[in-house]
Every structure is written in C-alpha cells, then in structure tokens.
Amino acid sequence: MPNTLQVGSNILFMKVGVHAQESLEQIIARKQKEIDDAGYALWGYGGNTCHPTTKIRPFVQKALKSGPIYLCMQKIDSKHHADPVRAELYSADGVDYHPIHPAINVLGSRFALAIKNLHEDDFDLPLQHTRVAVGECTGRIGSEYIRGLVDKACLEISPDYQIPLEIDAKVKKISLVAELCEPYAVYLKNK
C-alpha cells in the first residue's frame, strides 16, 4: 500500500472501466486534461451506494478531520453503453444547480466526484483490512461489503491492515488514484 494510505486513511473504492461508450484510457486522458484546464475534474458514476448527500457528504465531513480522501480505482472489464451525453449543470445539494465549467465533460452519469491529482498507480488494497465508514453498514468489513453488484464504497483503513495477507479475492488491484476535492460529490443534469 502506498505511503499516503495508512491506518485511519479514508478512501472511496470504485470499480472503473468503459463508460458511456468511451474506453478507460480515453477517460483518463480527458480527465487529466480537465484537471490541467479547470483545476479539477468531475468523475461520473451512478448507483446509490455512494449517493452524494446520504453517503459522500457525511463521509467527507467525518473523513476530512484526519486528512485527504483518496479515490482508489480498480480497472475492470465493463460494457457501459449509455449515451455519451454531457451533463450541463451540477449541484452539491440536489437543489441549487450551476453550470459545469466549459473545460469539464462528464458524460452519461447521474452523479460525479470532484477530483484532482489523478494518476496511475499499482498496489494491492486488502479489503479485509478496511471498514465501511458511513451508512447502515458502518463498521462492516470492506471485503464483505464489496461483492455482487456493490462496486463502490466509502471505506476507512482499519488498524489491522499490517497483518500478513493471504492472496485471495479480498485483495483488489488498484491502478488509478485521485484525491477528492471541493465540492466532493455532485448531482448532474441537463438544462
């Protein structure tokens, strides 16, 4: 695990791949350019396991007290065929919407994470040494939570992560990392 992740570190784990008919490599290049041009990017996603106001906001409020929050992404084969429609507006609360920066293109998503410092990496994340940080499953072991259709979660690195690991399905290969930044998680829509 990289030096930036230690006991108590807060991470948002997410599986990523093809999205809105665009390869992951194309998405990474586009997001890095957006960060260069706008200072941050919006990483689109769907699903309610990391809902902006019921999961991400409480997680951010709790987690920022102990340092940055890292988005740790596992590359997977995916077939997300949604239309690549660009969202035009974002909202931190789902009520007040604002225009998305013209340099940012977030496609085919309901929600997005605000990120900076997006880079490729290569390390194993032992999910059995993480705990769910917010929601009705708080405290649940990450490897028990991330399975089936659950592909993302707000997690905390637990104190036992230094225990020697058995190589099994509980270890996820992380190949892409970013740091969450203001406004952290947003709703998206078109005009």
pLDDT in tens, 119-178: 999 999 989 889 999 999 999 999 999 988 899 999 999 876 554 445 454 789 999 999
Q: Is residue 170 domain-resident?
A: yes
pLDDT in tens, 74-115: 999 887 777 889 999 999 999 999 999 999 999 999 999 999
Q: What is the dihedral of CA 19, 21, 27, 29, to 10 degrees?
A: 170
Which single residue is written with the structure tokens 């705990």?
131
Tell me the whole-structure pTM to 2 decimals.
0.92
Q: Is residue 165 domain-resident?
A: yes
Question: By CB neighbour count within 10 A (0-12 exposed, 13-18 middle, 19+ buried), where does 110 fall?
Answer: middle
Residues counted in the chain: 191
How many domains does one find in the chain? 1
Q: Is residue 5 domain-resident?
A: no
Task: Supply the range of the domain harboring residue 175.
Answer: 10-189
Q: Is residue 1 domain-resident?
A: no
